[in-house]
Structure 1
């Protein structure tokens, strides 16, 4: 039975740093399989309800890691559904006491714990304005789930480490199935889509078994900062990677869209600043080639995450060549491992980052 985590973690002892995070990372192929085997029917039901309501736009609200999952879903919404998508700022409601008119919108709140009061207030305000509201959480009994008209459980189960890993990818998969289900209008996936998505658990197992993240962590043990970058569906992966590095190793890590990187921040890259570049096999990946060319001119230390080698790269964390929508669920895996091993190399315990707890309550 799924047991969502809503309180303190059972972090491992100081002599086993990273054991909890390593276990969470390793469980992700099984989480994918569980969502597909036991959660897909409910996702399809919710998708069909949403399709029938025909929202004119989709508004997402989230914090932290879940904000990156929401950004991924925003790309899906605009590309696959052709609907405008946005990310609402909770402070508009909670700090400024404004009440936007979301009456023709679907408002989706994404939260692992469902315990942050500000997200619940946004959903309540959206529902009062006439919006259709959906909570996507790892805790069906949370306040957020209760505030929304609809709820989806991401089925990630208990997460041991404070830094989120399997809850993030479970959110990605749930949102992918939801958006694709809305696109068909019936909630059910096209046969080709279902077949391709059904391969994700096996592909994820292969990625986790073959990455060189531990060796790469040794190389960057003394790095003082990182830059992460990607375009399109890969951009949320870049942002989530930066967050994981900051949470677990306390390393300043700046995430940029590949396009934004060229608008100024490129100047700070040099051989002493590692760049983690997520390069997919589709349009977003192709759009990264100019970025990589410019990084090469800067003699930047570039680690590519993707299916193909890139001229001038320092190293590559290999992932399969798949549709960019699905790559988001695979490319993050070796980067989670890199964050884990880098923290351990630096003498930190990624299971229990200083000053952080699993549920962060913001208002």
Structure 2
């Protein structure tokens, strides 16, 4: 896990160069035939990548986007009616039967299906109209890291081209070097507080909510922690009742319109006695600041999860786990 996450900068650089042609092809098709709506298909880390895609599509292109409940096609045998729609199916292996069934159902219902997949000759690619390779290479650790980051960079690349956002495209050019810098950030200040706890919250919002979910998933998988992900808005509606003295909270904000709300929430958590770790600079009393790398706001979540992965791998071993072999998990989970 540690070595594979560390390689993400180099892999993303190669991916951005190799995918230029297929991304241009996909973006041209989406501009010529603007989708009426978009569906996202994924499981696990790929589902979290889909949350990133949903916010980026809706904020950059203005197309209503929704996660697709895979069981509608795989269990109930129904195809969604999405004429002139888009379906983005995200997967490392491209083998899970429910994901393949959902993508095939979306295509039967009129959607243009784009598969973002690491295994290019997978069953998912065979049912898609177009495949965008993740190009992460073999991933030996059960806990996905580099394939998740490759999913986010491929999604950002596609949407930058589709929307014609020159600033986002320019930001992508710097992303590989920034990923290397993000990996070098020291988040070990959080280790003492997290080594012996049983539960925590991971909080983000907007385009960063997907990486908050991903961080919570990795803490469950590799560290045996009961971690829940919330948006900065949602956590105030009920879940705040559990936050008492010593309760750990990890906030992963990006420098966009949601940032001030994250700062306010960090201060509120601290006033309740929580042990708060904030990714970025903060002046809130009692809040621990974790160093970050600045970038285009839509790309900062990718850098945050890269810094987090180093912490998670270290925390896993500190808690007595093997981050490469989480208990009861397999690399490819084939659900129906």
Give 1:14's aligned residue. none
Root-mean-square deviation over aligned CA pairs: 1.4
Deviations 1:264-298 (A, max 9, x none): 10111123221000122111212223322321221
C-alpha offsets along residues 21-57 of structure 1, whole Å, 9 cap, x if unaligned? 1111110110111112222222122211222121111
Structure 2: runs of 5+ lacking an equivalent: none
DSSP-derived class of the 1:302 partner:
strand
Partner residue, 1:269: 243
Match of 1:355 among 325, 328, 332: 328
The alignment's TM-score, normalised by the length of structure 2, stands at: 0.96
Q: Distance in 2 between matches of 1:330 and 1:313?
A: 25
Matched, 1:200 2:190: no
Counterpart for residue 131 of structure 1: 111
CA distance, structure 2, for counterparts of residue 312 and residue 322 of structure 1? 26
SS in 2 for 1:42: helix
Which 5+ residue runs of structure 1 have no aligned equivalent? 1-20
Contact 2:201 2:249 (C-alpha < 8 Å) held by counterparts: yes
Distance 2:207 2:264 in 1: 17
8 Å Cα contact 2:106-2:113 kept in structure 1: yes
* Pairs within 5 Å for 1:62-73: 62-73=42-53
What are the Cα deviations for residues 321-351 of structure 1, in whole angstroms up to 9, with x where unaligned? 3222010110111211121111100111000
Counterpart pick for 1:245 among 208, 219, 232: 219
What is the distance in 1 between the residues matched to 2:331 and 2:44?
A: 11
Equivalent runs, 1:210-359 vs 2, <5 Å: 210-213=185-188, 215-306=189-280, 308-359=281-332
Alignment of 1:14-29 (within 5 A): 21-29=1-9
Aligned residues between the structures: 336
Following the alignment from structure 2 to structure 1, what is the Cα–Cα distance between the partners of residues 21 and 186?
33
Correspondence for 2:131 among 132, 148, 151: 151
Distance 1:178 1:313 in 2: 40
